[in-house]
Chain A
Amino acid sequence: MKKNTMILAALAVALTLTAGVGSAWAYFTTYAEARGSYTLDLGDKTTVSENFSDWTKHVSIASDADSEPVYIRVKAFCGSEYNLVYSDTTGKWTPGEDGYYYYSDIVKGGESTDILDIKIENVPEGMEDASSFNVVVIYESTPVRYREDGTPYADWSAKLNSSRVEGGV
């Protein structure tokens, strides 16, 4: 009986000592969280259209609907005995020091440039067969890039970084 009494007394002491444990372990905590995302659309596909009339090439470049915005430049080549004269009606094509003509506006997906006329001069009199001329038009596009303040610019020297080549033999 005395042993039971001791056990009961010890139990009472233990209960008293552990009474504060619950509050000591229960800390006030809370949290708040948020998530956000955006999808990137990269890549572009452009096509050139050329019409020929009156010894003039009428050039325009179109961007596919799902393309990202691009800048475009054009250059034409021909034999040295002929002279090429560039012109347009809207003033958006301007010559660069490198011989390219640069389109000033950003071409968004689904849009086209205004027409750039490239007139072939010094054509010999009596020449009627235009197929005997070989005037090559090349054009390039580059995705629009932005400075930190949001100003758009074209980086014509940008290089792609390919770390992997998949497939092949």
Chain B
Amino acid sequence: MDKVKKMITSPKVSVAAFVLAVGLLLFSSIGGARAALTYYSENYSTRVEMFDIGVTLQENGKSLSWRNYDTNASDGTWDESAGRLLSTMLPKGEDLKIGAKYTEELDVRNSGTINQYVRVNIYKYWVDADGNKLRNLSPDLIKLNLVNLKKDWILDEEASTPERTVLYYSKLLESGTVTPLFADSLIIDEMVATKVTQTRTEENGYTTITTTYDYDGVSFCVEAKVDAVQEHNAEDAIWSAWGRRVAVKNNVLKLK
């Protein structure tokens, strides 16, 4: 017994045990993977389950922008595309009609193979001809009509500003399914045609007042960014990825 005890407590045995522990640690995951591969290759050679996350922003029922992880690709990369919003809003050859309502239906499709939670960031702002943001012009005059609020989409009032709107889809979005619309139309408020700046100049005893439209020659911009995160461990995943505390219970998301 003493011999056994002495052998166990000897430094050589301890070092050997440590090396063995490290070896087991390193090979444990490989062993699991090999076992899984062997199992499926024997019985389900054509049925390999992929855990690919992917999300698509849809405009008027058509895919516009997406980013899907593709494990089938040789290098395991992302299949992604960024479309141009509003590009089909006007009939060909027609100018924008201030005050008219244009169809702008936006929703989100889970284009991955795993369930997910999604949120949408919408930005509205004005830019000059050089693309510089004009912060003195009102985003409120770009009236993107949000729909299905409270029931399906939750407005994050803490994170929203006149320029940015943050919406959380309140339910789990299952693979292959589409959310209800979060926007359905766009109107440029006719107030843009009444806002002017007057410049007064005096010359030879005459005063001339020149009136220019504040919104003439500027562009309105709308951006939509969809974020998606895995279903598993969603509360921590959302906190880690988006920095927002949420509560998820029975596949229903609520803001904290």
Question: Could you tell me which A residues sit within 8 Å of B by CB distance?
Answer: 1-2, 4-5, 8-9, 11-12, 15-16, 19, 24-25, 27-43, 69, 143, 145-150, 152, 158-169
Contacts and interface: CB of A to CB of B under 8 A. Distances in A.
B11 A1 contact: yes
B55 A30 contact: yes
A34 B224 contact: yes
Contacts of B39: none
A161 B195 contact: yes
Determine the main DSSP class of A at the interface with B.
mixed
A161 B196 contact: yes
B241 A35 contact: no
Q: Which of B80, B85, B97, B127 has the most CB of A within 10 A?
A: B97
B196 A160 contact: yes
23 contacts: A5-B11, A16-B25, A28-B114, A28-B230, A29-B237, A30-B228, A32-B82, A33-B82, A34-B59, A34-B85, A35-B85, A35-B224, A36-B84, A37-B222, A38-B96, A39-B219, A40-B98, A43-B212, A43-B216, A148-B99, A165-B199, A165-B200, A168-B207
Interface residues of B, number: 83
B198 A145 contact: no
B97 to A, nearest CB: 4
B226 to A, nearest CB: 5
B64 A40 contact: no
Nearest to A149: B101
A33 B217 contact: no
A42 B213 contact: yes
Contacts of B240: 25, 27
A32 B220 contact: no
B220 A147 contact: no
B66 interface: yes
Contacts of A161: 191, 194-196
A29 B83 contact: no
Q: Which of A8, A28, A32, A38 has the most CB of B within 10 A?
A: A32
Contacts of B80: 32
Contact of B83 (A34, A40, A69): A34
A12 B22 contact: yes
